[in-house]
Chain A
C-alpha cells in the first residue's frame, strides 16, 4: 500500500498510490497528521505532497532502515476525517485586478459574471503546499475554466493574484514572474513570514467575491 524509498543520505520518501485523488489525499493526510504528532526521534521535517511524504532526518540520531521500519509499522486510523477546516478567501474579480478576466471570458465565450460564479462555487481541496512559500496546490476547479497558461509570462505578478493555469487554480503568495491567467486578487496576505499559515494541507478553501471598495478596505486593514 505504501512504499518507503531512500531519498539521498538523510531523507526518505513515503510513496502512495500513483494518482491524484481525494482518497489518496486523505491517506497522505492521515499519515502526515500521525507523523506530526508522533514523537519519532530524528525526524527534522515532514513534507506532504499529492501522493507522497518526504521525511528529512538527522543521520546522527536515526537511520534510513530504522525510520523505514517505524514508518511501515505506523498504525494509521484510516477513518479519520476530522478537522477539515474551510477557509474563506475574499477575491476581487474587478478587471483592474483580474488582468486577464476579460480575455478569459472572451476565449471561453462565458460571461464575466459566470466566470466568477464558476470560480467561487466549489470548495477547493488544498492537496499540498509547495514550490514556493505558501503556494497551494488546489483541486476542484470546474473544467469549464481549464485554460492554457499565457504564452509570454508576466515579469511581475502582485502577491495575492488569483489565477488559472491548465487544470489548476491558485494564488500567488508573493510577487513573482509568472504565466498564469490572472482573474482576480485577494487582499489577504497569503504568506507572512513567522505567522501561522492561513491554510494547511488538507484544508478546504472557498473564494468569496468582493467589490473593489471592499478589496481596498480589507487591504488597508491588513
Chain B
C-alpha cells in the first residue's frame, strides 16, 4: 500500500501544519508555504486540513501507484497528467495500481500540493511530519523526495462520491499584500514608513522556504539599525542594515537581529509564497 516516486521534481517535500512548542530550542516551525492551498488539497480528499502531503516547488514530481487511492492537487498551475492524459487540479483523481501521475512545471504560481486520501506513513519529528531541509530532519529521511523513494499509505482510500470541485486560483503578477505593524514599526522614521508603504518591490532570485528577499528601493533606517536578537515568525518583514526588506517564510529562523517593521497576514504569506516573479506592494489592514 504505497506509491513510488518516478521523478522527484525540483524540491518535493513532505509538509504539514508545522512543528510547534520547540522554538525555544531554535527549531523553526516549517510546514506548508501556502497554507490555504495545502488545506484545500487536504479537504478535497477528506483529510484534516493540516495533514501531511507532498509540497511541490516549481517543477512537480511524478508518482506511480502500487495500490488504489484517491488524490487531489491544488495550488500552482502545474500541468497534471494521469497516464499521459491531462487532468485538472481542485478535484478528486483516483489512481489504480501502476497508474502514473505526473505534475509538471508551474506556469503560474510556485507551490503545488498533492494530498493523498489516507494517512502517509511518515514518522513524526517533534510531533510533525514537516521536512526541514537545512538541518536534514522531518519528512522523508530529512530530505526532498527522489526517484525510487517509496512512501507507504497507512489507510489508502478511494472517494467515489465526491463532487467537490474547487476552481484554480489566479496568480496576478502584481499583488498588494496586507500587513500589520511589526514590533519595530515605530522605530522606522516616518518618511521611511511612507516610503515602504508606497514603494513597489520585485520578487527576485533570492526566494526560498526560509525567506523572500525583495528587490527595489532601499529603506533608510534611523539611528537604530539592529535590535537585540529577538523572535521571528512567518510573515515577519525585516529590514537589513542595508535597507533591504526580507520577508520570513515557513522555515524562518526562530530569532533575528534586524528591525521587524511589518508582519504579513496569513493570506498575504500565502499570496507571496506563490510568486515566482512579479511585483508587490504593502498596505496596512
Residues of A within 8 A of B (CB): 5-11, 13, 15, 18-20, 32, 44-54, 56, 128-135, 137, 173-174, 191, 193-194, 197, 200-201
Complex contact B228–A56 (CB within 8 A): no
In this assembly, does B218 line the interface, its C-beta being within 8 Å of a C-beta of chain A?
no
Known: A131-B26, A135-B26. A44 touches B21 (CB 8 A): yes
Contact of A6 among B29, B180, B254 (CB under 8 A): B180
Q: Specify which of B21, B134, B182, B183 is in contact with A45 (CB 8 Å cutoff).
A: B21
> Smallest Cβ distance from A192 to chain B, in angstroms?
10
Q: What would 11 A/B residue contacts be, using CB atoms closer than 8 Å?
A: A7-B263, A9-B235, A15-B183, A49-B228, A49-B229, A54-B230, A54-B233, A130-B231, A193-B137, A194-B126, A197-B25
Interface range for B: 35 or more
Question: 1/0 per residue B220-251: CB within 8 Å of A?
Answer: 00000000111111111000000000000000
Q: In this assembly, does B23 line the interface, its C-beta being within 8 Å of a C-beta of chain A?
A: yes
Query: Are B183 and A131 in contact (CB-based, < 8 A)?
Result: no
Q: In whole angstroms, how far apart are the Cα atoms of A53 and B231 in the complex?
A: 7
Residues of B within 8 A of A49 (CB): 228-231, 255
- Interchain CA distance A50-B257 in the complex, whole Å: 11
Interface residues in B188-245 (C-beta closer than 8 Å to A): 228-236
Given contacts A47-B231, A51-B228, A56-B233, contact A130 B263 (CB under 8 A): no
Is B86 an interface residue when CB atoms closer than 8 A count as contact?
Answer: no
Q: Most chain-B Cβ atoms within 10 A of its Cβ — which of A8, A193, A194, A200?
A: A8
Residues in A neighbouring B266, C-beta threshold 8 A: 9-10
Question: Which of B28, B182, B253 lies in contact with A7, CB distance below 8 A?
Answer: B182
